[in-house]
Amino acid sequence: MSTVLDTEQATDVRTGSAYESLIDRLSQQSVVKHFDAYADVPWDHPEYRIDPADPRWELSDDDPLGATDWYKAQPQEVRARIGLQGIVSAMKTGLQFESVLKRGLLEYATTLPNGASEFRYAYHEVIEEAHHSLMFQEFVNRSEFDPPGMPKLMQFGSRGVVKLGRKFPELFFLFVLGGEDPIDYVQRQELRGEKEIHPLLERIMRIHVTEEARHLSFARHYLKRHVPELSFFKKRMLAVRVPFILGSMAGMMLRPSKATIRKYRIPKSVIKEAFDKNPEARQFVRDSIRKVRNLCVELGIITPISKQLWKAFGIWDEPGRPAVAAEG
């Protein structure tokens, strides 16, 4: 398979003209390179059928859970089902997260004056995220699984996040990066890997990372443009709240759901072995949020006190440290 993947655009946004030019380019790319959840995914092609026992769903030895003796001792069909349920759970959580993102973007758009280029871009992103949610839900529907998605408490708390799009967009876009960066990192690693990927999953991931490159670029450059203009008090609010957001989001996105653990009776000792006591798994989490962590350093919203929170959540690395797995 091709390993050439779209990457984020980067520019110096200290001047207003450069920032406006970037947004215009992102909007134009949404016109010339966008996807439809049904027209561009051959759902009913025989090769795209989801068979829960397909060995291509099995976790690889590079996966923290897949590397455990407990997982390797399971029958082949069970190993495949565990892998597929992990994918399905991540997609359900992802579409619920994108629901928060879309509603927050619409709230943000209501604050923009007539003529603002961000308005057009925000609506392009809402449309693209809606197609992502359609893809994810269609995959869930065809999988034979019924994942709950985000925990109920987090679903309830997401209502407050939506309001941030209007009241505190800088914190809202850091929340966006906290949810999107880890998944983008995981999908890019999988697409560049040597393990055979089911063609339906591969198609969905390629569409997702192509359009997310634009979404992540906008969020990062918005923050670079606007965070320096914030008051001292708001910057300190970001410093304290961001590590809580990133710590909880990365942990939820990159570990098996509670439903998966219950369904397959995965022992607590196996989860601890795979994730809590596994230095490589913990480093993978830190690598998955490296870009947003380095951005926070660049924005000056990591203080001596807030750094201790990053360390307490196990998501701190010194700036400039390269990720274990190379990104492109």
pLDDT 10s digits, 145-175: 999 887 776 776 778 999 999 999 999 999 9
Model pLDDT, residue 6: 74
The number of C-alpha atoms within 13 Å of 232 and in the hemisphere containing its C-beta is 0
- For the residues 311-322, what does the mean pLDDT come to? 82
- Residue 326's pLDDT band, with cuts at 50, 70 and 90, is very low
Task: Pick the range with the lowest mean pLDDT from 112-116, 129-133, 142-146, 158-162.
Answer: 158-162
Task: Give percent of the chain with pLDDT exceeding 90.
Answer: 81
* CA distance to 47, 100, 238, 311, per residue, from 103 (Å): 35, 5, 21, 31
Cβ atoms of 250 and 289 within 8 Å: the answer is yes
Task: Pick the range with the lowest mean pLDDT from 40-54, 240-254, 270-284, 292-306.
Answer: 240-254
Q: Is the pLDDT of residue 80 over 60?
A: yes
- For the residues 102-114, what does the mean pLDDT come to? 97
- For the residues 289-305, what does the mean pLDDT come to? 94
- For the residues 66-79, what does the mean pLDDT come to? 97
Helices (H), the chain: 16-32, 69-72, 76-109, 117-142, 152-167, 169-192, 199-226, 232-253, 258-263, 268-271, 279-288, 290-299, 304-312
Model pLDDT, residue 297: 95
